[in-house]
Structure 1
Amino acid sequence: MEAGKTSNVAPCERKDFGKALCIITGASKGFGRCLAKEISALLQPGSVLLLVARSAEKLQELEGELSSQRNGLVIRCVVADLGQKDGVGSVIREAKKTPSSEINSLLLFNNAAALGDVSRFFRSFTDMDDVDEYLSMNVSSALCLTAGILQAFPARVGLQRSVVNVSSLCALQPIPSWVLYCTGKAARDMMFCVLAKEEPELRVLSYAPGPLDTEMQVHARTYTADDNARKSIMALHCEGRILTCEESVGKLMKVLLKDDYTSGAHLDFYDL
């Protein structure tokens, strides 16, 4: 059942995201890093940009770059493994350092994800620990982090809260030898559909960014076990049909600023 558009929040096109707390997981590279750069220019002075990733070095590099370009933006970094309970808790604790009364916008981007072992087929996944570890990082963490942030920043007049799930076409279409990734993305999409139904005042979006020029894409075309799937992925690269992160992030920013999407919807780069 499709999540419906909220009836008590009128869509409104904005020029920026106001004075915000913006949280981005998986911010150290690829889509997340590009997202941090692009959205930093759309946050008003006094906003807090909370960057989360496992690599301290890459986060520090990004923090330095943004700090030199964005006066009035507070940048905080959390080095965390979101596959662990302590990692999720550390992000929530850091977010709580920003009083809700000091912001008028809350943005949470659930971007962190792993491709998983695509060199194996379904029948080889007999070890529950392998599967549980993947789902903990890619599904459980997104649920628990989002729930914790929403509890810390409850609905109130004057605060717009938006949750973005970085999704994939794989949430809708199966790819042989990608059982973990497809399962994780499908689970996350449904999870956020439920959230949109339960809390209609929220703005919830699952955004599939398209095939991106990232390390994950290189890994996919190198290690995918299924011959047909691997050849299709390689063709995207050889034919120049891979998107830059900047192209995809730019389209996402337009969607969020225009703010007329159906809450809980899955939107693909190519559908916009």
Structure 2
Amino acid sequence: MRPTDTAQTASGQHCDTLAVVTGTSRGLGAALAHQLLGPAACVIAIARQESPALAAQARGTGARLHQLTGDLSDPAQLQRLCDEMIAALPARAERMLLINNAGTVAPIVAAEALQAEAIHLASQAMQLNIVAPMALTAAFLQASTGRSQDRCVLNISSGAGRNPMAGWATYCTTKAALDMYTRVLKQEQAALGVQGARVVALAPGVVDTGMQGEIRAADPAAFPALGRFQALHADGQLSAPEHVARRILAYLARADFGQTEIDDIRNYD
């Protein structure tokens, strides 16, 4: 599908903050995009489908919104989305952000069951959870060089990448890979001095999103911790996406963002 612009296109314009956010059709990604939209910002939203709510907000506020649609788990579409993102970047911005938020928890199965259909889902998850952030980050860093003195990459990770959980072989593995990728990226960017970007892999805590619904619908035989997640929902222990998004954006604004490359938003309660 072709990209859709609302108000002014991000490309060729100057703005205070340019923010690229993935997974913006729902959940945390949607909350982040809504809160980033403002008269001094340009938002490039990447998702499988456009968000009418984001478009309506942009029209109402005069914000600059560029919605790119496609499947990040498909290699050909990922390349197209990288190209479209580069084309949509403003000529100059005071601050440029890339938030790699899109991800999937599927398949939820025991490691010994990862074959046939399950391994196909696992391959798609690896493409979405780790290959897509790597490709988008490479495109973003190359294209943003010289356009801003302050560039930040935030990879939305998970405690699952730091603590194993039965049934989540694919999810835990991809999030652990995302953490290590972030560590390597930080080392490389730090070597560039003031020209380098600041990078963090951040666990957002347990957020009340569609992913949590998928987790609660899992087969208890494949996911022994199912009861814990059902109880978190029943007891109102899940954080609202809007609340977590506010905390993440405040975290991004910290002067020390990037000093701790593997972090957890719950460290800042």
- Whether the TM-score (by the shorter chain) exceeds 0.5 is yes
Structure 2 matches for 1:14-93, cutoff 5 A?
Answer: 19-41=16-38, 44=40, 47-56=41-50, 59=51, 61-71=52-62, 73-93=63-83
Structure 2 matches for 1:123-202, cutoff 5 A?
Answer: 123-127=112-116, 128-154=119-145, 156=146, 158-200=148-190, 201-202=196-197
Alpha-carbon distance between aligned partners in 2 of 1:65 and 1:175, rounded to the nearest angstrom: 40
Alpha-carbon distance between aligned partners in 1 of 2:60 and 2:207, rounded to the nearest angstrom: 25
Alpha-carbon distance between aligned partners in 2 of 1:84 and 1:165, rounded to the nearest angstrom: 19
- Tell me the alpha carbon deviations over residues 38-92 of structure 1, each in whole angstroms, 9 at most, x when there is no partner: 1224x61xx3211111123xx2x03322213422x21111111111223222322
Match of 1:241 in 2: 237
Is the contact between residue 97 and residue 151 of structure 2 (CA under 8 Å) also seen in structure 1? yes
Give, in angstroms, the shift of residue 189 of structure 1.
1.0
- Tell me the alpha carbon deviations over residues 123-142 of structure 1, each in whole angstroms, 9 at most, x when there is no partner: 01134544322211221111
TM-score (norm 2): 0.84
Instruction: Name the amino acid aligned to 2:182.
Output: F
Is the contact between residue 203 and residue 264 of structure 1 (CA under 8 Å) also seen in structure 2? no
Distance change in 2, residues 1:137/1:67 (3 Å) = same
Give, in angstroms, the shift of residue 203 of structure 1.
1.0
Match of 1:6 in 2: none
Alpha-carbon distance between aligned partners in 1 of 2:121 and 2:211, rounded to the nearest angstrom: 19
Alpha-carbon distance between aligned partners in 2 of 1:99 and 1:50, rounded to the nearest angstrom: 8
Give, in angstroms, the shift of residue 259 of structure 1.
2.7
Is the contact between residue 202 and residue 263 of structure 1 (CA under 8 Å) also seen in structure 2? no
Distance change in 2, residues 1:227/1:135 (3 Å) = closer
Give, in angstroms, the shift of residue 250 of structure 1.
1.1
Distance change in 2, residues 1:112/1:50 (3 Å) = same
Is the contact between residue 25 and residue 112 of structure 1 (CA under 8 Å) also seen in structure 2? yes
User: Higher relative contact order by CA 8 Å / sep ≥ 6: 1 or 2?
Assistant: 1
Distance change in 2, residues 1:99/1:176 (3 Å) = closer
Distance change in 2, residues 1:153/1:209 (3 Å) = same
Any unmatched runs of 5+ in structure 1?
Answer: 1-17
TM-score (norm 1): 0.83
Alpha-carbon distance between aligned partners in 1 of 2:199 and 2:175, rounded to the nearest angstrom: 15
Any unmatched runs of 5+ in structure 2?
Answer: 1-14, 191-195
Alpha-carbon distance between aligned partners in 1 of 2:154 and 2:187, rounded to the nearest angstrom: 15
Distance change in 2, residues 1:224/1:31 (3 Å) = farther
**Over aligned residues, Cα RMSD in angstroms?**
2.0
Match of 2:98 in 1: 108
Moved more, 84-93 or 101-110: 84-93
- Which of 79, 87, 98 is 1:97 aligned to? 87
Give, in angstroms, the shift of residue 95 of structure 1.
2.6
Of all paired residues, the percent bearing the same amino acid is: 25
Is the contact between residue 33 and residue 62 of structure 1 (CA under 8 Å) also seen in structure 2? no
Give, in angstroms, the shift of residue 244 of structure 1.
0.3
Alpha-carbon distance between aligned partners in 2 of 1:269 and 1:247, rounded to the nearest angstrom: 11
Alpha-carbon distance between aligned partners in 2 of 1:224 and 1:102, rounded to the nearest angstrom: 49
Distance change in 2, residues 1:50/1:157 (3 Å) = closer
Is the contact between residue 93 and residue 147 of structure 2 (CA under 8 Å) also seen in structure 1? no
Is the contact between residue 28 and residue 62 of structure 1 (CA under 8 Å) also seen in structure 2? no
